[in-house]
Structure 1
Amino acid sequence: MLQRSGRSPAALLIAVLAVLLAGCGAPGSGGSDAGGNSATAPFRVGLVHSTTGPLASYGKQYSAGFRAGLDYATKGTGQVNGRQVQITEADDAGDPAKAVAAATDLIGQGYKVIAGSTASGVALQVAPLAEENKVLFVSGPAATDAITGVNKYTFRSGRQTYQDVLTAGSIIGDPAGRSVTVFAQDSAFGQANAQAVTAVLGAKGARVTPVLVPAGATDLTPFARQAVDAKPNLLFVAWAGANATQMWQSLQQQGAFEASTVVTGLDIRSTYPIFGAAADKIQFLSHFFPGATDNEAYKALEAGLAKQGAEVDLFTNDGFVAAQMVVHALQEGGDDTAAMVKALEGWTFTGPKGESTIRAQDHALLQPMFTARLTQTASGFAPQLVATLPPDAVAPPVAPAK
């Protein structure tokens, strides 16, 4: 059953006070949900993600993937251990404050599992809340490396930036002595990419220079010009949001594709046409795309999305995997958050991307990554798989204990 959270500001305030002052809904405590029998009451899971705002399309994909994954992981029953899994969705609009308010509201109602976080900045604010209240948090498309190892209650269902950069590294070969410019937004996502490229390629001898564009910039031409004038051997583009078309147009107009080797992440389907004639000049690292694999989980994702009138896209995998993780945690841990955490640590499973493992030390999700090309078709552009990188080839270093 899917519900939308529409709490009033007063209700949110009451929920906040309930969590802070009364410890309401503390995980691991006995009793039942909403006065029901704990053996039969639903497992309540909160999905806090973007249904509006600049990353709404990502949130929509995540939610659709989660529904398909829940159906797959529960074998079509929507139940775990005989108890219904009740999903409540709340919109964070990409705003960390709204996300914290929504998650606090759900925790105040007794929810012990929160999933979602379309944006990196949101995930970084929700993760401490999970630790403070001892609830399970499964972050979604948010790519920042800072989520890995942030605390014992936080996991992720998508890839992290370090894995993106290692995949890019497989495209360019030996970076020693080469210049790399990172063209990105001045956001948690963009900064994480710049830091990761510096850490990965800089450590191998590359000279890395970031060009970070203010989030509110309306004229991107000066920043594109700056990136091109640097004459890098590699121009690494890391961009997320509604103005991606404008960004690519600015780079094209300034001659970036003629001046450098351009590597970027393959974004959602709707962005494929924006590359135009430059599409075959770009080399793509990819987290996931239609046709990347053909395993049982991928087929279930495809079929589950079709029932919703949707298609496989970049972040449908993250929702599907989140549902697999949540179901496994509930199967093994029930209402005990500590047991849920233990069940996920070290767990190996097969998702739409292939076999993945949750590293016990820091909860990094070790997973395959891909490289791809966009090719022209009669109806537009389609991604073609170039290579599949196994999980160990793109594994981030173990995050230091906090």
Structure 2
Amino acid sequence: MRRRTASRLLPALLAPVLLATACGGGDDTDTGGSGGQADGEPIPVGIVTSLSGPLSSYGEAYVEGLDAGLDYATDGTGACPDGRPIEIETIDDGGDPEQAVSAATDLVGRGVTVLGGTASSGVAVQLAPFAEENDILYLSGAAASDAITGINDNTFRAGRQTYQDVATAATLLENASGDVLVFAQDTEFGQGNVAAVEAVLGDEGATVDSLLVPASANEFTPFAQQINDAAPDLLFVAWAGDTTSAMWQALQQQGVFDRTTVTTGLGDLASWPAYGEEPQDINFLAHYVSGTTDNEAADAMEEAIAEPDLFTPDGFVTAQMVVRAVCEGDPADTASMIEALEGWEFQAPKGMQTIRASDHAMIQPMFTAQLTGPVGERVGEVLSTVPADEVAPPEGS
């Protein structure tokens, strides 16, 4: 078992708008050695993600991973094999779809043909059709909505999707039947989790209901009381953002853990203290826990970043995909970049991952985990690695 202690939290060091320069080739692309000097016409890439707002910590971790991934994917050369550097411009969307589309429109107007980023599912489902309409490549980041997979040929994803979360949670349950209540925010992300729980656990005999609350809610005692009144056999919690601590505190104070089994996704490091005095009462599925895997990509990320967080690998993988697309394909020809990515199998920090050609699902391993230790010294411990094919979303779903 591999462990990671949340001894400190990632500082918010990133400015709302920043410019980074990197370049590259993919894992199986010859970059012509390391440490070379980039020259030639730059390849512009736009990253639109949350660096402010409720998902800002996700965006910050993503950008850190992106920087590390670009360095890794290029062996530090700063160029594709033809010598062209990649110039990355990162813009804050604040988690607002309108702001994100405005930023994307400006970037495309300035010649950008590759967009990445996106912590919010609500933003991602707006940028995906924008990418198709403008015939550019779009690489969604941490956004988990299943609707992103297969939405169009121009859209790919660097992270996991909700179906993979729920399928991983199902491996934690001895019996998936009974009454299941999904407790989530009334957002694209929350609604997607309800649909995925119905698809996965509903198909196994569970009766699924939902309790969706406004994303703006910050008082959760009434909702905890509703959960107790419903008395489900299983409570599946899908939550994101800066109200996480208040939500978990309300569930604990109202005795929800004493009345039902609770399953949720293990959040970012900042959320670990929020799980209460006895986090072992929660069954955690996990997208990523730092220190879990042992491979070249993971080692490079751990070496570059002192405390990789939940969505650091999504940034790292985005960089690998950018490098693959613009160096194996042609940045001026979106179809060639799509072809370069479809079916690509590569080593990522989580292990071997494959971009499914038919719908661009990112097939990847997932994890189950537990938290131990006192509130200020939490340790994340991976209990099992769930093989990628066991949690792969069905094609055409």
TM-score, normalised to structure 1's length? Answer: 0.88
TM-score, normalised to structure 2's length? Answer: 0.89
2:371 maps to 374
Measured after TM superposition, the shift of residue 146 of structure 1 is: 0.2
> Which residue identity lines up with residue 64 of structure 2 in the other structure?
A
Q: Contact 1:180–1:207 at 8 Å: present in 2 too? A: yes
Measured after TM superposition, the shift of residue 334 of structure 1 is: 2.2
2:221 maps to 221
2:269 maps to 269
Q: Identify the match of residue 362 of structure 1 among 359, 376, 386.
A: 359
2:337 maps to 340
Counterparts of residues 143-292 of structure 1 (less than 5 Å) = 143-176=144-177, 178-292=178-292
Are the structure 2 counterparts of residues 377 and 215 from structure 1 closer, same or farther at C-alpha, using a change threshold of 3 Å? closer
Are the structure 2 counterparts of residues 114 and 378 from structure 1 closer, same or farther at C-alpha, using a change threshold of 3 Å? closer
Measured after TM superposition, the shift of residue 224 of structure 1 is: 1.3
2:23 maps to none
| Superposed CA offset, 1:64-106 (max 9, x none) | 0000000000111221121111000111000000000001100
Is the partner of 2:138 in helix, strand or coil?
Answer: strand
Instruction: Say whether 1:326 aligns with 2:318.
Output: no
Are the structure 2 counterparts of residues 399 and 3 from structure 1 closer, same or farther at C-alpha, using a change threshold of 3 Å? farther
Are the structure 2 counterparts of residues 184 and 379 from structure 1 closer, same or farther at C-alpha, using a change threshold of 3 Å? closer
> Which residue identity lines up with residue 355 of structure 1 in the other structure?
M
Indicate the percent of aligned positions where both proteins have the same amino acid.
Answer: 55
Q: Contact 2:66–2:318 at 8 Å: present in 1 too? A: yes
CA distance, structure 2, for counterparts of residue 195 and residue 74 of structure 1: 39
1:34 maps to none
1:15 maps to none
CA distance, structure 2, for counterparts of residue 284 and residue 218 of structure 1: 23
Instruction: Say whether 1:124 aligns with 2:147.
Output: no
1:71 maps to 71
> Which residue identity lines up with residue 114 of structure 1 in the other structure?
L
Measured after TM superposition, the shift of residue 340 of structure 1 is: 0.5
Measured after TM superposition, the shift of residue 3 of structure 1 is: 9.9
Measured after TM superposition, the shift of residue 123 of structure 1 is: 0.3
Is the partner of 2:378 in helix, strand or coil?
Answer: strand
Measured after TM superposition, the shift of residue 218 of structure 1 is: 2.9
Q: Which runs of 5+ in 2 are unaligned?
A: 1-13, 19-38
Where relative contact order (Cα < 8 A, 6+ residues apart) is larger, the structure is 2
Higher mean Cα deviation, 61-70 or 230-239? 230-239
Q: Contact 2:273–2:376 at 8 Å: present in 1 too? A: no
Measured after TM superposition, the shift of residue 379 of structure 1 is: 5.2
Counterparts of residues 71-150 of structure 1 (less than 5 Å) = 71-81=71-81, 82-150=83-151
Q: Contact 1:3–1:89 at 8 Å: present in 2 too? A: no
Q: Contact 2:263–2:284 at 8 Å: present in 1 too? A: yes
Measured after TM superposition, the shift of residue 233 of structure 1 is: 1.2
Measured after TM superposition, the shift of residue 276 of structure 1 is: 2.2
Is the partner of 1:121 in helix, strand or coil?
Answer: helix
2:24 maps to none
CA distance, structure 2, for counterparts of residue 384 and residue 212 of structure 1: 30
2:390 maps to 393
1:314 maps to 310
> Which residue identity lines up with residue 172 of structure 1 in the other structure?
L
Measured after TM superposition, the shift of residue 201 of structure 1 is: 0.4
CA distance, structure 2, for counterparts of residue 130 and residue 399 of structure 1: 20
CA distance, structure 2, for counterparts of residue 215 and residue 315 of structure 1: 21
| Superposed CA offset, 1:262-317 (max 9, x none) | 111000111111112131111100000111212111110111224xxxx1110000
Instruction: Say whether 1:351 aligns with 2:348.
Output: yes
CA distance, structure 2, for counterparts of residue 250 and residue 3 of structure 1: 33
CA distance, structure 1, for counterparts of residue 115 and residue 396 of structure 2: 22
Measured after TM superposition, the shift of residue 217 of structure 1 is: 1.9
> Which residue identity lines up with residue 218 of structure 2 in the other structure?
T
Are the structure 2 counterparts of residues 187 and 3 from structure 1 closer, same or farther at C-alpha, using a change threshold of 3 Å? closer
CA distance, structure 2, for counterparts of residue 330 and residue 377 of structure 1: 46
Is the partner of 2:53 in helix, strand or coil?
Answer: coil
CA distance, structure 1, for counterparts of residue 313 and residue 393 of structure 2: 20
Is the partner of 2:278 in helix, strand or coil?
Answer: helix
Q: Contact 2:16–2:51 at 8 Å: present in 1 too? A: no
| Superposed CA offset, 1:350-386 (max 9, x none) | 1000000000000000000000000116951011010
> Which residue identity lines up with residue 391 of structure 1 in the other structure?
A
> Which residue identity lines up with residue 253 of structure 2 in the other structure?
Q
Is the partner of 2:216 in helix, strand or coil?
Answer: coil
Measured after TM superposition, the shift of residue 174 of structure 1 is: 3.0
CA distance, structure 2, for counterparts of residue 287 and residue 148 of structure 1: 17
Q: Which runs of 5+ in 1 are unaligned?
A: 7-38
> Which residue identity lines up with residue 89 of structure 1 in the other structure?
T
| Superposed CA offset, 1:108-154 (max 9, x none) | 10101000011000000011110001100000000000000000000
Q: Contact 1:3–1:87 at 8 Å: present in 2 too? A: no
Cα-Cα RMSD: 1.6
Q: Contact 1:279–1:374 at 8 Å: present in 2 too? A: yes
Higher mean Cα deviation, 39-48 or 248-257? 39-48
Are the structure 2 counterparts of residues 377 and 77 from structure 1 closer, same or farther at C-alpha, using a change threshold of 3 Å? farther
CA distance, structure 2, for counterparts of residue 208 and residue 225 of structure 1: 18
